[in-house]
Amino acid sequence: MPVTNPRVLIIDDETAILDTLRILLKRDNFEVHTAASGQQGLDALPKVRPDFVLTDIRMPGVGGIEILNAVRELDATIPVILMTAQASLQSAIQAVNQGAFHYVQKPFSNDELLMICRRAVESRELKRENQALKREIRRRDASLASRPIGKSRGFNEVLKLAETVAPTDSTVLISGESGTGKEVIARYIHNLSQRAGGPFVSINCGALPENLLESELFGHIKGAFTGAVRDKEGLFVAARAGTFFLDEVGEMTPATQVKLLRVLQEREVVPVGATEPIPVDVRIIAATNRDLEEEIRRGVFRSDLYYRLNVITLHLPPLRERIDDVPMLAEHLLARFAASRGREAPRLTPQASELLQNYDWPGNVRELENALERAAVLSGDRDITPDSLPARLTSEKAQPLVSDKLPPNPTLEIIERAYILWVLQSEGGNKTRAAEVLGIDPSTLYRKLVRYGFQE
């Protein structure tokens, strides 16, 4: 659909030219914004978000080439028209070869300029329509080819809700136990969204100490702290026009929570050591294996941040509640693992398949994946038998998660402590393997072990 009043940003250090162009383009129903220097033009770009830019190529300080590069970084679909005198004509021609839409030579014909401006708007509309078509194709392909595996009723209800909210820009909070596939669902939402052409950026908020996490999220400027030898772009900025997935958001410290709340409210970030905010255009998907409402009651998670994140909630059921999905998941995981080795996927014997469906899978899909990878390696090119599966699947009686000596109504902290100890014991004390089964970073596991008195 054509733009009725296209926005143009005119940048020129000559006031007379600015006034002339403002009058000319306003008469032709353009929404006109002006800047009297290249630096003012750079500052205005993210605020105006023009449909095209009309800029002089040679100005004191910031010139037209710098404007072109900034526009391409902001939005590559925005055309840039350069105005040039005879002395800088060769520079304008080179700029067109580098991506500028067109150039006009001063003094220019009003009719010629208006024609080029209209063509610039039409060019942007064609690019945007083309991008929209590509996104729709990607969405269709994602829906057909990358739909997460599962047929159980509860899991499919989650997928249907994910498909409903994907085309919007609403913030999504995915809850569920470790290893249930929260990042898989987040990527699925991204692939079905209008932002599918942009990046999918993720970070585990529990894997980094507070100072490094803030630098990763928001970026920093040179000299902000020891070791900051250059400016660093934060992940919020890196995810522009895409999706930012914050895993284990419940592990954030209160100070970082405050800064994340500002991003959600203001849609801008302030790099560490900086004073000027940077606008961000990103969709937020957060995930947690914690009960955030309980964390709010304990005073370790901010209620205002929770309500900002909790716009749309998806709760992934644990694998023990979708046990009918285990055969499908097993077939898919074995095929993927075999493909990575260039081999044919092994088959599960009926006895092995039965064992998989009779186990509770406290580590959920991640534990299933680890068990099947182990089995595939041990079985070689043979069918997978019970002998290839971890001993915990074949034991007659599973080890109880919580002792009978515990209180009749244990707190979430007591259950987590018991579960961590159980997984650590089942993995023979191997902290790396235990962290994989738990679905957390080894550094997070270490902090929890210290917190619960398992390690000094």
80 plus 223 within the same structural domain: no
Strand 232-233 to strand 219-220: parallel, antiparallel, or no bridges (unpaired)? antiparallel
* pLDDT over 70 (residue 407): no
Mean pLDDT is lowest, of 54-68, 239-253, 382-396, for 382-396
- The single-letter code of the amino acid at 121 is V
Percent of the chain with pLDDT over 90: 49
407 plus 368 within the same structural domain: no
Let me know if residue 73 belongs to a domain.
yes
CA–CA distance, 101 with 95 (Å, rounded to integer): 9
Percent of the chain with pLDDT over 70: 91
Largest CA distance in the chain: 90
Q: What confidence category does residue 411 fall into, taking pLDDT thresholds of 50, 70 and 90?
A: low
251 plus 308 within the same structural domain: yes
* pLDDT over 80 (residue 400): no
Structure tokens at 207: 């894997």
Let me know if residue 219 belongs to a domain.
yes
* pLDDT over 60 (residue 403): no
Let me know if residue 238 belongs to a domain.
yes
Mean pLDDT is lowest, of 66-70, 369-373, 376-380, for 376-380
Looking up residue 235, the CATH number of its domain turns out to be 3.40.50.300
246 plus 182 within the same structural domain: yes
Q: What is the rounded average pLDDT of the residues 166-195?
A: 93
Q: What confidence category does residue 404 fall into, taking pLDDT thresholds of 50, 70 and 90?
A: very low
pLDDT of residue 456: 46
Closest CA to 106 of 119, 89, 93: 89
Q: What size, in residues, is the chain?
A: 456
162 plus 306 within the same structural domain: yes
pLDDT of residue 275: 83
* pLDDT over 50 (residue 329): yes
124 plus 268 within the same structural domain: no
Contact present, 318 and 177 (Cβ < 8 Å): yes
Looking up residue 415, the CATH number of its domain turns out to be 1.10.10.60
Q: What confidence category does residue 448 fall into, taking pLDDT thresholds of 50, 70 and 90?
A: confident
Q: What confidence category does residue 140 fall into, taking pLDDT thresholds of 50, 70 and 90?
A: low
Let me know if residue 134 belongs to a domain.
no
* pLDDT over 60 (residue 111): yes
232 plus 186 within the same structural domain: yes
285 plus 377 within the same structural domain: no
Q: Between residues 241 and 1, which one has the greater pLDDT?
A: 241
Let me know if residue 417 belongs to a domain.
yes
pLDDT of residue 137: 65
Q: In the listed set 317, 343, 377, which residue is the last one of a domain according to the structure?
A: 317
Tens digit of each residue's pLDDT (9 = 90 or more) over 166-180: 999 999 999 999 899
DSSP alpha helix (H) spans, 228-386 = 235-238, 254-266, 292-297, 303-309, 326-341, 350-357, 364-379
Q: What confidence category does residue 395 fall into, taking pLDDT thresholds of 50, 70 and 90?
A: low
Structure tokens at 311: 């716009």
Q: Between residues 188 and 273, which one has the greater pLDDT?
A: 188
pLDDT of residue 90: 76
pTM: 0.62
| C-alpha angle 84-90-93 in degrees, rounded to nearest 5 | 80
Looking up residue 366, the CATH number of its domain turns out to be 1.10.8.60
Let me know if residue 1 belongs to a domain.
no
pLDDT of residue 190: 93
Q: Between residues 173 and 141, which one has the greater pLDDT?
A: 173
Let me know if residue 139 belongs to a domain.
no
Q: In the listed set 317, 350, 379, which residue is the last one of a domain according to the structure?
A: 317
pLDDT of residue 409: 59
370 plus 415 within the same structural domain: no
Looking up residue 11, the CATH number of its domain turns out to be 3.40.50.2300
375 plus 420 within the same structural domain: no
Domain range enclosing 328? 319-397
Q: What is the rounded average pLDDT of the residues 406-418?
A: 67
pLDDT of residue 141: 59
pLDDT of residue 73: 85
- The structural domain count of the chain equals 4
* pLDDT over 90 (residue 86): no
244 plus 294 within the same structural domain: yes
Q: What is the rounded average pLDDT of the residues 132-148?
A: 64
Let me know if residue 374 belongs to a domain.
yes
pLDDT of residue 397: 46
Average pLDDT over the chain reads: 86
* pLDDT over 70 (residue 408): no
> SS3 for 124?
helix
Handedness of CA 189, 193, 196, 201 (dihedral sign): negative
Contacts 24+ apart (CB under 8 A), 152-161: 152/317, 152/321, 152/322, 152/324, 152/325, 154/317, 154/321, 154/322, 155/316, 155/317, 155/322, 155/325, 158/185, 158/314, 158/315, 158/316, 158/317, 159/185, 159/188, 161/312, 161/314
According to DSSP, the residues that pair with 204 across neighbouring strands are 247
Q: In the listed set 317, 342, 374, which residue is the last one of a domain according to the structure?
A: 317
* pLDDT over 90 (residue 128): no
Q: What confidence category does residue 3 fall into, taking pLDDT thresholds of 50, 70 and 90?
A: low
Handedness of CA 242, 144, 164, 305 (dihedral sign): negative
CA–CA distance, 78 with 69 (Å, rounded to integer): 11
CA–CA distance, 278 with 236 (Å, rounded to integer): 10
- Spell out the residues 6+ positions from residue 162 whose beta carbon is closer than 8 angstroms to its own: 185, 188, 189, 192, 314
Highest-scoring range by mean pLDDT, 49-58, 334-343, 420-429:
49-58
203 plus 280 within the same structural domain: yes
